């Protein structure tokens, strides 16, 4: 009994910290799995690709675009990028543009190059050195990967935070392309 009385403050603070941590994880998970529903015009940006060429979103005006923010250290990105590669090839004649945006503010460019090479990614890979483009398109939600679907009209159709199953992700891409014929 004496032990409990002497350590009551420690038990209370540990319990409170655990409750706050669990609540925080629940909030992050809830935000991580949601899809943004508020359509807005996609904000133009210019980033360099892996070869140093400047690429602007406005270069693809009138085409459906999938922006995918990724990091080499992200296990979900390793799973998702081949699905995007497949979609890029499958829907290229329909005008689909897939742009991978590497968050080099969190890791070096060399790791991104190795990662993309291992996965045999052929769609354009852009470098977001200061994470400004990521911060805008992620709407302040700290998640990776973040995938943004931009319609031919330039309006953001949806934003996905986190990963989906291969079948679910393929279905979302198919629906997006059906809406952008």
pLDDT band at 21 (very low <50, low <70, confident <90, very high): very low
Q: What is the mean pLDDT of the segment spanning 9-14?
A: 51
Q: Please say if 77 is a catalytic residue.
A: yes
**Is 69 found in the same domain as 16?**
no
Tell me which of 42, 65, 66, 77 is the catalytic residue. 77
**Is 43 found in the same domain as 25?**
no
* Paired strand residues for 67: 99, 148
CA distances, 95 to each of 87, 91, 92 (Å): 11, 7, 5
**Is 125 found in the same domain as 65?**
yes
Backbone angles phi, psi at 11, to 5 degrees: -65, -40
Pairwise pLDDT comparison (132 vs 23), residue with the higher score: 132
Q: What is the pTM of this model?
A: 0.78
User: What CATH number is given to the structural domain containing 165?
Assistant: 3.40.30.10
**Is 15 found in the same domain as 40?**
no
Collect all residues with Cβ–Cβ distance below 8 Å to 50 and sequence separation of at least 6: 102, 109, 112, 113, 116, 125, 126, 127
Backbone angles phi, psi at 4, to 5 degrees: -65, -45
User: Can you say how many angstroms the Cα of residue 24 is from the centroid of all Cα atoms in its chain?
Assistant: 21
**Is 59 found in the same domain as 25?**
no
pLDDT tens per residue across span 24-36: 444 444 444 444 4
Q: What is the mean pLDDT of the segment spanning 107-132?
A: 94
Lowest-confidence pick of 25-34, 57-66, 113-122, 157-166: 25-34
Give the pLDDT score at 32: 44
Number of domains the chain is built from: 2
Domain with 161, as residue range(s), is 35-179
**Is 106 found in the same domain as 149?**
yes
Collect all residues with Cβ–Cβ distance below 8 Å to 83 and sequence separation of at least 6: 166, 169, 170, 173
**Is 97 found in the same domain as 12?**
no
């Amino acid at each position: 009994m004496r032990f409990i009385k002497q350590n009551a403050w420690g038990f209370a603070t540990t319990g409170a910290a655990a409750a706050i941590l669990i609540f925080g994880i629940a909030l992050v998970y809830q935000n991580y799995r949601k899809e943004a529903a508020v359509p807005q015009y996609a904000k133009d940006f210019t980033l360099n690709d892996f070869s140093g060429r400047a690429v602007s979103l406005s270069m693809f005006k009138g085409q459906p675009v999938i922006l995918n923010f990724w990091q080499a250290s992200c296990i979900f990105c390793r799973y998702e990028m081949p699905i995007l590669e497949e979609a890029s090839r499958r829907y290229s004649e329909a005008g689909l543009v897939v742009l991978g945006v590497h968050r080099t503010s969190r890791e070096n460019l060399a790791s991104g190059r190795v990662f993309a090479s291992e996965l045999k990614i052929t769609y354009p890979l852009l470098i977001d050195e200061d994470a400004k483009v990521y911060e805008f398109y992620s709407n302040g939600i700290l998640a990776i990967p973040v995938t943004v679907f931009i319609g031919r009209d330039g309006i953001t159709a949806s934003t996905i935070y986190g990963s989906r199953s291969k079948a679910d992700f393929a279905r979302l891409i198919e629906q997006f392309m059906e809406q952008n014929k």
